Amino acid sequence: SEKMAGHGEVLVSTASAPTNIAVVKYWGKRDTKLNLPINSSLSVTLHQEDLQTITSVAIGKDFEGGDRVWLNGKEETDLASNKRMQGVFSAIRERAGDVVDEASGEVLVPSAELKTYKIHVVSRNSFPTAAGLASSASGYACLVKALSQVFRVKEAHEGELTEIARAGSGSASRSLYGGYVKWEMGTRDDGVDSRAYQVKPEEHWPNMHALICVVSDHKKTTSSTGGMIDSVRTSELLKFRAENVVPARMKAMEEAIAAKDFPAFAELTMRDSNQFHATCLDTYPPIAYMTDTSHNVSRLVHAINNESSSGPICAYTFDAGPNAVIFLEEDHVEKVLKALLADFGPDSAESSEPFVRGQTTLPAADCMEAHPLSDANKHLRGNLKYIIHTRVGPGALEVTEEEKVLVDSATGLPK
Ligand code: DP6
């Protein structure tokens, strides 16, 4: 995918990365510079067919204007000089290898020189940032993957790249791998043992699906970074959770995943989300991420599960915002989607984009026709903006298709 490369030339590499949703949540840091957490966490990687970041990196000796970053078509000058971004750049530069001609073995650019190259990052999300879906996880994972490729970084130990992504954004450590991923908190001050591992690949439990319920009214809420600082400082419940609840829950969650025990997975997931939001309310002053709509989705999930004689068939989880992510096995998607649409379906057929998108496509008009609303719950209609149907998927990947590359390989500028 790459033409080589003497002096004055531009090196380009491209990667894609997924988002992930934690089922044992990361909340609270023991070191805010390195993003070292107060507890371990565990997540499911979502499929890149439905939600994905693509990042191209161009590096060049002669780039004027230093390191630069373009996000979703717009140059972000603050981001390029941001501490976390620069931290990732220097962690990668420190580990740069030689650029070697594959055929002859000749060193084209020695690592000492490669380190001095300036960096251009051009990145795009396949999902709307305004929907309030976490983009820092896929964003930093993708950046680290693309940078590691172009700077010829070879991991000195398994998971070294996840440490670098972690320093960009904690949850990004888990987006390098597919399937079911844990981030071990570690104990060292330098963070070398705070990295992610794959618990099971996506093929182990491939019929794990998710319905992302995007809530209509998005007010600006407290950022994860800021919220965690306040929670660590003021919440005794958070300290109790980290020390006395999470260690056993991590073990139980790993066992539930190994056994593909959905009822166990579901109860642990819902309890963990609820406890995370309880620690937010225990923060002083309190942080409230869930809205009335969030609580109404949670109630519906419990109502569906109460009717099941074989234990829970769906599980909600909420992050630092009001959107619900509902995990469920493929067999139950139709039933749960039907129940969601009956309560929270669209209130207008006039929408250019389908109300259900991703693995299933359903235009708003079809939803309204197929799922007439129960009178009792008429007030809930319109409270969701749309639903993304997705499933468990693979981790970060190198992208080689020329049409997906976001930078011009001659100039190093966005295409
Ligand atoms: C609620 O990874 O976004 O989604 O490390 O400050 O960048 P920073 O925070 P971030 O926090 C994610 C918090 C969460 C839970 C989780 O993903 O584990």
Burial of 165 (0-12, 13-18, 19+ CB in 10 A): buried
pLDDT at 2: 44
- 169 Cα nearest atom in ligand 1: 7
User: Quick one: which atom of ligand 1 is closest to the CA of 137?
Assistant: 2
Query: pLDDT tens digits for 125-140?
Result: 998 776 667 679 999 9
Question: Letter for the amino acid at 70?
Answer: W
Q: Which atom of ligand 1 is nearest to the CA of 26?
A: 18
Say if pTM beats, i.e. exceeds, 0.80: yes
Closest CA to 356 of 330, 333, 328: 333
Alpha-carbon gap, residue 352 to 363, rounded angstroms:
8
Which of ligand 1's atoms lies nearest the C-alpha of 24?
A: 18
Q: Do the bridges between strand 397-399 and strand 107-109 make them parallel or antiparallel, or are there none, so unpaired? A: unpaired
Mutation test of ligand 1: which of 19, 23, 29, 171 has the most ligand atoms closer than 8 Å to its C-beta? 171
User: What pLDDT is stored for residue 131 in this prediction?
Assistant: 65
Contacts 24+ apart (CB under 8 A), 186-191: 186/36, 189/31, 190/34, 191/31, 191/34, 191/35, 191/36, 191/163, 191/166, 191/167
Question: What is the Å distance from ligand 1's center to 349 Cα?
Answer: 35
Predicted confidence at residue 8, as pLDDT, reads 62
Ligand 1 midpoint to CA 28 (Å) = 9
Q: Tell me, in angstroms, the distance from the centre of ligand 1 to residue 25's CA.
A: 8
Six-digit token string for 111: 């690592």
Q: Return the pLDDT at 1.
A: 37
- Tell me, in angstroms, the distance from the centre of ligand 1 to residue 251's CA: 21
The two tokens of residue 35 are 């993003």
Q: The tokens 């984009």 sit on which residue? A: 353
> Which pLDDT score is estimated for 5?
47
Closest ligand 1 atom to Cα of 172: 2
170 lines ligand 1 (CB under 6 A): yes
| Ligand 1 near 232 CB (within 6 A) | no
Give the residue among 17, 42, 40 at the shortest CA–CA distance from 327. Answer: 42
Ligand 1 centroid distance, CA of 319 (Å): 8
**Euclidean distance between CA atoms 145 and 143, whole angstroms:** 5
At 377 the pLDDT is 76
- Lay out the sheet containing 53-60: strands in order across: 74-75, 68-71, 118-125, 53-60, 10-17, 397-399
d(CA 89, CA 65): 16
Can you count the helices (H) and strands (E) in the chain? Answer: 12, 19
Q: State if residue 136 touches ligand 1 by the CB under 6 angstroms criterion.
A: yes
Report whether residue 138 contacts ligand 1, using a CB cutoff of 6 Å: no
Please list the ranges in the chain whose pLDDT falls under 70: 1-8, 130-132, 134, 219-220
Domains in the chain: ranges and CATH: 10-205+398-404 (3.30.230.10), 208-391 (3.30.70.890)
pLDDT in tens, 153-193: 999 999 999 999 999 999 999 999 999 999 999 999 999 99
Q: Which two tokens stand for residue 327?
A: 């995990």
3-state secondary structure of 60: strand
For ligand 1, pick from 224, 241, 289 the residue to mutate: most ligand atoms within 8 Å of CB.
Answer: 224
ipTM score of the complex? 0.99
Instruction: Quote the tokens at residue 251.
Output: 């073990």
Q: Does residue 149 have its Cβ closer than 6 Å to ligand 1?
A: no
| CA atoms of 350 and 130, how far apart (whole Å) | 20
